Structures are given as structure tokens and as C-alpha cells.
Amino acid sequence: MANLNDLKMRIASVKSTQKITKAKKMVAAAKLRRAEERATEARPYASRMEAVLGNLANGVTGESAPKLLRGSGDDKVHLLIVATADRGLCGAFNSSIVRLARETIVRLQGEGKTVKIFTVGKKGKDQLGRLYGELIIDSMDFAGIKQIGFNIAKEISDKVLSQFDEGDFDVAHLFYGKFQSVMTQVPTQTQLIPAKAPEGAIAPDLKGAIYAYEPDEESILEALLPRYVGVQVYRALLENVASEQAASMTAMDNATRNAGDMIDNLTLQFNRARQAKITTELVEIIAGAESV
């Protein structure tokens, strides 16, 4: 059994840790509300753009379609854009996104495809770098960035679009954590390039009307598609921020509870050890008195 001083030091250490986890939980809870609002507010715009894209794409086929819509004509080289957080202490948030990316890498390589990785966030780069460091062609983190804005998403999308124009890849996939609730964040994969409206996207209700586009659909898509890629990246980053804060709040709440349980157990051990020491001292005093 540990002596009293050791137990006392361990109790003090766990109490200090508990104060830290409790403070981090409160900080995450404060940040979560605003992050959730931003993610929720971005969804209608992104969904409407998906619907408009789907409507326009239906009228454009073959070689007349922009390259971002029709693709390079091949699917040999795949770019995986893996968006995670810069920090840990948020449960399985980062690792679940990386796990989905790893599964995709294994599947694509099993099909004979070439895989390249673009990491957004330090944790994704650190975890994927252990096994697939040679596949990482670019990376970006959020050091010094206080709030995610569209300019950050545009910087990422511009890099991706530039690489696509140069023929560095054929298909791009985006990985992120979709925020559903405080308890649930879903690792999500979506195809970014060639651009296409997700399955289940709700087309706008034209109420029987037939739209004539001016300029034509091809010209509109040429201007819309780069913006669409940026919007998808922006939505993913906002979903990630909300998911990270929710996962952090949940993880710190669990850590605080576990610290409380540990303090209770250590306190019980301390009390038993102290009682045993007092009993031993009493026995020694009585034995000494009897011997006199």
C-alpha cells in the first residue's frame, strides 16, 4: 500500500488535472455555440448551390461541359484532402476522420490507383505521416488563425484547382467531420472534383417554368464551379470547427468525471492507510505500556 505522502500528492495532482479539464470543457462549450451557428448558417447556401449546380449540369454534356464538371477523362490518380484539427484532447474526432481516409487509401491502392494526400490541420498530417508520409504532397495548418473565414477555404481550393489544371490528379475527395449534435460527429467523405451534386440533393422547384440562361449554361458553370469547390471546402471547415468543439467538450466532461472518481478512490485509500497507521501506533503504545 502507498504511504500517506504519496497518496496525498497523487490526490493533489488529480485535483489539479480536474481543474484543467473542467476549464477546457467550459471553454469548448462557450466556443461550440458560435461554431454550431456558423456551420448551420452555411448549410442552406451550400445546399442551394448544389441544387443549382445539378440543374445546370443536366443541360450540359460531353465536351461542351467545363473540365471541373466532366473531369480529366480518367480516374487513375486520386487526391485525398483530409481536414482535421490542429489540436488534440477532442476524443476520437481526429482519429475517426483519419481512419476513414486510411480505409479509402487501402481501397484505392487495392484497385491499382495512385493516391496523393493534402492534409489540412496538424493532427491529420501527424497521423497519416506515420504510414503514408511519402504520399503527402501538400499540407496546411491553422497556426495564428483565430477564426476560419472563406479566405482560408479559398486558399485551399485555389491550391487544389491549380493542381487539377496542371494534371496532378484526376479525382479529388474531401474528408471532414460533419456536426450532428454534441454527442455525434460523423466522419464524412465527399467527391470534390469532378464536381457533382450529392445524391439526394433537392433540385429547385421550377413550378413548371423553363429557364433560359444568359449567358449559356457552359459560361455560368465556368464561373460557378470554382466557387462551388471553395464553398464545399468552407462548409467542411465550419463543420470541423463545430465538431471539434463538441468532441472536446464531451471528452473534457468525461475526463472531469473520471478525475472525480479517481479522487474518491484515492481518498478512500488515504483514509484506510491513515486509519491503519493510527491503529498500528495505538497497538505499539499499548504493547509498550503492558511491557512496563
Catalytic residue among 90, 100, 115, 197: 90
pLDDT for 212-250, tens place per residue? 656 666 677 777 788 888 889 999 999 999 998 998 988
Determine the 3-state secondary structure of 130 from DSSP: helix
pLDDT of residue 134: 92
- pLDDT above 70 covers what percent of the chain? 87
Section 73-89 average pLDDT = 88
pLDDT for 131-167, tens place per residue? 888 999 888 888 777 788 888 989 899 998 888 888 8
- 90 catalytic? Reply is yes
Q: What's the rounded Cα separation, in Å, for the pair 71 and 193?
A: 7
Give first-to-last CA distance, the chain, whole Å.
Answer: 32
Q: Are 221 and 145 in contact (CB under 8 A)?
A: no
Domain chopping of the chain, boundaries: 39-244
Banded pLDDT at 201 (limits 50, 70, 90) = low
The single residue listed with the C-alpha cell 458560435 is 34
Banded pLDDT at 208 (limits 50, 70, 90) = low
**H helix and E strand count, the chain:** 6, 5
- Quote the pTM value: 0.82
pLDDT of residue 57: 67
pLDDT at 59 over 90: no
Q: What's the rounded Cα separation, in Å, for the pair 240 and 127?
A: 17
The single residue listed with the C-alpha cell 477532442 is 90
Is 39-244 in CATH node 3.30.70.1150? no
Q: What's the rounded Cα separation, in Å, for the pair 129 and 138?
A: 12
pLDDT at 64 over 70: no
pLDDT of residue 103: 92
Banded pLDDT at 278 (limits 50, 70, 90) = confident
Q: Are 85 and 240 in contact (CB under 8 A)?
A: yes
